[in-house]
Amino acid sequence: MKKKMQINKKKEERRGTQEKMSKVEKTARPAKAEKPIKATRPANAEKPIKSAERADAVCPYAKKCGGCDYQGMPYEKQLKEKQAYVQKQVGNFCKVLPILGMDEPYHYRNKVHAVFDIEKKRGSRPGARGNGKAANGKQGNGKNGRLAAKPAPGGIISGVYKAGTHEVINIDACQIEDELSSAIIRDIRGLLHSFKIKTYDEDTGYGLLRHVLVRRGFHSGEVMVVLVLGSPVLPSKNHFVKALRELHPEISTVIVNVNDKRTSMVLGDKESVIYGKGYIEDTLCGCTFRISPKSFYQVNPVQTEILYGKAIAYATLTGNETVVDAYCGTGTIGIIAAKSAKKVIGVELNRDAVRDAVKNAKCNNVKNIEFYNADAGQFMVEMAEYRADAKRGEKSGADEVDVVFMDPPRAGSDEAFLSSVVTLAPKRVVYVSCNPETLARDLLYLTKHGYRAQECQPVDMFPWTKHVETVVLLSQQKPDDTIEIDLDLDELDATSAELKATYQEIKDYVLKEFGLKVSSLYISQVKRKCGIEVGENYNLPKSENARVPQCPKEKEDAIKAALKYFAMI
C-alpha cells in the first residue's frame, strides 16, 4: 500500500510539472507567432490527393495489387491527368482533342485472368496474407476494411500477383473486371477441393491448375473459360464442366490449355476443347469477330468502338483505296475498313490471330481483304522493295498504298517499319497507339520524312490505370502541294534560311491554317525576333522617323507556327 501511494504521488508531481510548463509556454509565446515551415515537395513530385477529392469506393486490394494507378482519384481528375500526359508527348506535333472518357468506368474488362495457389500460412499474426481476417479477427467487408477474400475449402486462393512479386493476392471481385467473369472464377475456386484438383506450386512444379482465363462477348454474351494446366489430364473433366455449367449456364465453351514449362507465360502451346466450339464470337462496329484463347482483342468493347470509329473516320475512305492494316490482330480494323475500301492487306505475326482473321473475313462476307502471317516490319520492308522494283519496271503488279493503319505494341515501331512506310508513301497514316511516349518518338521520324501530324484523339480505354490509347492522323506532304512562284533572289537579298520557304509560302500557310493575312513586313519582323537573318535592306523604314507598324501578337504566333512548319526555327 505504501509503495502504491508513493507511485501515485510521483504521478501527481509529474502532472503538476507538465501543467506549469504548459502555462510558461502560453505566456512566453508571442501574440503573432511565426507559422512553422512546411516541408516542400520536389517540383516533379505528384501532388497528394486531398481527402475531399478521393473517390467514394476505394478497392480493398489497392495497396497490394498495384494494378490500378489511380485508386482514390475521382474519374474526372484521372481524365485530366491523361489529357495532360498526351498533350506533353504529342502536343508539339499536332492538336490534341479532349480525351473521350467512359460514362460508367467500372467492370469494363471483358478478359479476366486469375492465378491459382494455396494460401501460405505465415505465423499467427492477425490479418496475415490469405486468412481474410482483419486485426480484430473478423472477416472484412469491402470498403469497410476487407484485407483479403476468404480462401475456398482446402485453402485454395485465386487472384493476381502482388506488385513486383509472385505472391498471389486472393481476390473475390475487381472494380474494373467483368462481374460475371469474376463470379465464374470464384466458383471454380470453390469446386476444386471436391473434385480433388490441386493447384500448381511454382516452387516445386507439382500440382495441376495454374491459371484460369475467362473471356466474354460484350454484345453476344458468349463466355469462354480456359483452364491452364500443368499437365494435359483433367480428372473427371466432364463432371467438372457439368458442375460448373450448372452454376453458370452462360458458359459457351471450355478449353484446356497445357503449360508444363517453368515460365511466367500464362498460356502454353497445346490446347484441347472439352466443351463447346472452342471459341466465342462478338460484334464490333457492326462486324462479327471470332475470339480464341490467344487472339488479341481489345479488352474494353465500349471504348474500342469509339477508338476504331475515329480511326476509320481519319482514313476518309471512298471505296477506291488500297489499305494496309499492320499489326492487324484478328483483323478488326481491316475488316471494318474493307467495307469502304477497294482492297485491304492485313499483316500479323501471331499465327492463331491470323487464322481467326481469315475466318472473321469469311464470317462477315468480306472478300476484298488478304491476310499475311508475318512480322509487320519485315513485311512492309519487302513490300516497299517490291514496289520500288515495280517502279523501275523490273516487276509488275505492285499496289499503290493509299492508307496505312498501324497499331503497334507498347514498344512502338522500329525504324525499318517506319522507313518502309515512307517508301510506300501512303497519302494517310492512321497511327493507333497505346503508349504516347513511343508514339512521340515515331511521329518525330515520320514528320521528318514527309508527313505531317494533323490531329490526335486520346481515348480512355483503361480507367483507373495510367494507360491511355490515342489515334493520330498523319497526311503526306507532297512536293506538288507547294505553291510555285517566280522570285528574284537578288532583289530580296535572300539568306539560306529564307530559301527554306518563301515569303509567299509563309503568307499562304498562315492564311490557310489561321485565316489571317500577313505582310512581308510582319514576317521579317518575326524572323528577326526568332534570330533568322533577314536581308540587310529588306523591309527597313526609308527614314529614321518613319512610323513602322508592329506585328500584332495573334499574327506573330501564326507566323512562328509557319516558321516551325517549314523547319526554319
CA angle 341, 426, 289 (to 5 degrees): 40
Measured distance CA(533)–CA(492) in Å, rounded: 12
DSSP assigned state of 449: T
Measured distance CA(463)–CA(106) in Å, rounded: 8
Show the beta-strand stretches assigned E in 286-387. 287-291, 322-326, 343-348, 369-373
Decide if 287 contacts 356 (C-beta within 8 A). Answer: no
CA angle 333, 338, 342 (to 5 degrees): 140
Give phi and psi for 382, each to the nearest 5. -65, -40
Half-sphere exposure of 399 (CA within 13 A, CB side): 17
3-state secondary structure of 445: helix
Burial class (CB in 10 A: 0-12, 13-18, 19+), 522: buried
User: CA-based Rg of the chain, rounded to a whole angstrom?
Assistant: 32
Order across the sheet with 168-170: list the strands.
168-170, 156-161, 111-118, 209-216, 223-229, 251-258, 270-275
Give, for 160, the enclosing helix (H) or strand (E): strand 156-161
Helix segments in 392-461, DSSP class H: 415-424, 436-448
Decide if 217 contacts 292 (C-beta within 8 A). Answer: no
Catalytic residue list: 434
What are the cell numbers at 357? 482473321
Give phi and psi for 312, each to the nearest 5. -65, -40
Q: If we measure between CA atoms, which residue out of 256, 263, 268 comes closest to residue 232? A: 256
Decide if 114 contacts 185 (C-beta within 8 A). Answer: yes
Q: What is the dihedral of CA 505, 507, 511, 512, to 10 degrees?
A: 10
DSSP assigned state of 479: G
Decide if 435 contacts 82 (C-beta within 8 A). Answer: no
Beta-bridged to residue 214, according to DSSP, are 112, 225
Measured distance CA(373)–CA(379) in Å, rounded: 9
Measured distance CA(509)–CA(477) in Å, rounded: 13
Burial 348-373 (b: 16+ CB within 10 A, else e): bbbebbbbbbbbbbeebebeebebbb
